[in-house]
Amino acid sequence: QVQLVESGGGLVQAGGSLRLSCAATGRTFSSYTMGWFRQAPGKDRVFVAAIARSGGNTYYTDYEKGRFTISRDNAKNTVYLQMNSLKPEDTAVYYCAASNRLGRPSRVDEYDYWGQGTQVTVSS
pLDDT at 97: 98
pLDDT at 81: 98
Q: Which residues of the chain have pLDDT under 70?
A: none
Q: Are 99 and 43 in contact (CB under 8 A)?
A: no
pLDDT at 27: 74
pLDDT at 65: 77
pLDDT at 62: 83
- Per-residue model confidence as pLDDT tens digits over 22-48: 999 987 999 999 999 999 999 999 999
Bridge partner list, 36: 49, 96
Q: Report how far apart, in Å, the C-alpha atoms of 20 and of each of 3, 11, 32, 82, 95 are.
A: 16, 12, 18, 6, 10
Q: How far apart are CA 53 and CA 108, in angstroms?
A: 18
pLDDT at 63: 82
